[in-house]
Structures are given as C-alpha cells and as structure tokens.
Amino acid sequence: MSFALRLRVYWEDTDAGGIVFYANYLKFMERARTEWLRSMGIAQQRLRDETGGIFVVTETQLKYLRPARLDDELLVTADLRQAGSASLIIDQRVLLVSPHAPESPANANDDVLCRGTIRIGWVQADTLRPARMPQSLAGTLERHADSMSQPLQS
C-alpha cells in the first residue's frame, strides 16, 4: 500500500567509500515524499505561490542497514504514519531493486537498505513560523490517510 518511487544511483550520490553517501538517502526520501504528494495533486511550488506556506523537515531518524552502489536501482517508499494540523510523520524505506552485480542471489531483491522516519511541519515561507495547514491540503492528506488505514495495509 506504500507509495514508491524508483530511482537510480549516479556518481553524484556516491563517496570515496564506494557507496552511496549516507546524507543522500535524505535526498532520495524527499524525492519520494515529493512525488507522493504530487500523486495526491499537491505541488509544493504552486502551493507556496497560492498559500504562502511550505513544508520544512523538523526531525529525521535513519538507520543504514546495507549500502547502495553506483548504478543500483532503488525503490523509495513513503507511508504516512500520522497527520496533524501542522505536521506530518512519514515512514520511509529505501529498497534495492536491481543489484549491479548480476551474480547476486534473487532474494537480494527488495532488500531494505535504509529505514527512516521523517517529521515535517507546515510553516509560513517568509517567517518560517509554524502554521496550520490550509484546509484543502489537510483535507487531501486526511482522505489519503483514511484510504491507507484499511485492513489490507501492512
């Protein structure tokens, strides 16, 4: 039931350890959150132009389980865990889709490389002070949360 974005590891994402630089998983997770919001019709630049508000990240917790490498194909998920009037908590995972080494066992697919929990808050873009989300935004997220809270969810 998760939203998922597929992406590729490029040189820019790696470091001299030969693996994806850990800070870049935050970028991967944000791309997935952005596309997850877009899938609900929420475009952040337009939202800012119309309401004067933006989302900011206020807390992040990440566990790095296994490394990703150049050319790996990843799946980045986003699951809304909690939605308040001024903030959201989102659970995210980064999974390995296609390991670059062809000899990898089939069960290496869908390996979780990284898990994260991200808290984002809604603020006024000019003052960066916390604010209540616009009604339309809150409503969209609420309807989404309802559709997620089904028995099938896991």
In the complex, which residues of this chain contact a second copy (CB under 8 A)?
Answer: 8, 10-12, 14-19, 21-24, 26-27, 30-31, 34-35, 43-46, 49, 54, 56-64, 67, 69-71, 100-102, 125, 128
Query: Least CB distance from residue 136 to a second copy, whole Å?
Result: 17
The nearer residue to a second copy, 72 or 79, going by C-beta atoms, is 72
**In one letter, which amino acid is 31?**
R
> For residue 59, how many other CB atoms are within 10 A of its CB?
11
Nearest 5 degrees, angle CA 25-CA 31-CA 34?
140
In the annotation, is 72 catalytic? no
CB of 125 to a second copy, least distance (A): 7
Which CB atom, from 49 or from 142, has the smaller least distance to a second copy?
A: 49
3-state secondary structure 18-72: CCECCCHHHHHHHHHHHHHHHHCCCCHHHHHHHHCEEEEEEEEEEEECCCCCCCC
In angstroms, give the least distance from the CB of 35 to a second copy.
8
Residue 42 or 145: the one with the smaller Cβ distance to a second copy is 42
Q: How near is the Cβ of 138 to a second copy at its closest, in Å?
A: 21
CA-closest candidate to residue 62, choices 99, 34, 27: 27
Instruction: Please tell me which residue in 13, 15, 71, 111 is annotated as part of the active site.
Output: 15
Q: Which of 148, 92, 146, 138 is CA-nearest to residue 119?
A: 92
Q: Between 47 and 80, whose beta carbon lies closer to a second copy?
A: 47
Do residues 32 and 5 make contact, with C-beta atoms less than 8 angstroms apart? yes
Give the catalytic positions in this structure. 15
